[in-house]
Amino acid sequence: MLVELVNGSPHKNGSTALALREVETILQEEGIETHTFWVGTKAIGGCLGCGKCAELGKCVIDDKVNEFRELAQKADGFIFGSPVHYAALAGNVKSFMDRLFFSEFQGNQNRAFRLKPAAGVAVARRCGSATAFSQLNKYFTIQEMFVVSSRYWNDVFALTPDQVPEDKEGLCNMRVIARNMAYFLRCQEAARRAGVPLPKVEPPVFTNFTR
Ligand SMILES: Cc1cc2nc3c(=O)[nH]c(=O)nc-3n(C[C@H](O)[C@H](O)[C@H](O)COP(=O)(O)O)c2cc1C
């Protein structure tokens, strides 16, 4: 079983990376394979709303988003981490998530996320992590993913990576996410082996409120 951890920070080894590493250590201890994907420092453009992903099964802009989409097909679970910028997700992560999940929403082939577990992690100096955390959860819940929770909302407070170890509660919550994710993956695997049927697919209904 493989969990992809996405570091949405421009800092490869910044505070977000350290928070994710705490999750990763425990996942590995629980026997789960992990891979970390860094979104990098190159600008990730926002969604063009061109709808081409419905035909292509991937985004028309061929960058980190499509690179991750390929990896996501093979993953069983996901942790998406972002630093907080102006009380919200960092700009690159917002664009990354919009295009990643819009191409999932549009494409009936190559579904990478449906019925897989996910958790979001937000890292801030002081304020805005709850907003970023709920932004992340919205991508998961629009795609029939299972949100793995912890004992609080998933945030770690630090201005710089050296401050991360000081947030003992935040790091404890990271470890709880990992334990719960590992447990959930084992349950899914057991269900698969026992032949528990997947939920029936409801034909989509798409209205703009009532029309
Ligand atoms: C452009 C920018 C905006 C920021 N806005 C916030 C903010 O609104 N609230 C906050 O608590 N921290 C804010 N921070 C601080 C970062 O969230 C914090 O330094 C975090 O540890 C960075 O994580 P990283 O090392 O993974 O990038 C901001 C940092 C930058 C660069």
Ligand 1 pocket, residues with Cβ under 6 angstroms: 9, 11, 14-16, 83-87, 123-128, 158-159
pLDDT along the chain (211 residues), means of 10: 98 98 98 98 97 91 96 97 98 97 78 96 98 98 96 97 98 98 98 97 86 75
For residues 71 and 35, is the Cβ–Cβ distance under 8 A?
Answer: yes
Are 181 and 119 spatial neighbours (Cβ–Cβ below 8 Å)?
yes
> Strands, E, within 31-135: which ranges?
33-38, 77-85, 88-89, 117-124
User: Residue 57 has what pLDDT?
Assistant: 87
The dihedrals phi and psi of 132, each to the nearest 5 degrees, come to: -65, -40
Tell me 58's DSSP state.
Answer: S
Contact 133, 118 (CB under 8 A): no
Question: How far is the C-alpha of 177 from the C-alpha of 2, rounded, in Å?
Answer: 15
Domain 2-194 has CATH 3.40.50.360: yes
pLDDT recorded at residue 162:
98
What pLDDT does residue 111 have? 85
Domain positions in the chain: 2-194
Q: What is the pLDDT of residue 204?
A: 85
- Pocket test of ligand 1: the residue of 121, 125, 129, 159 to mutate, having most ligand atoms within 8 Å of its CB, is 125
CA of 139 to the centre of ligand 1 (A): 21
Q: What is the pLDDT of residue 73?
A: 94
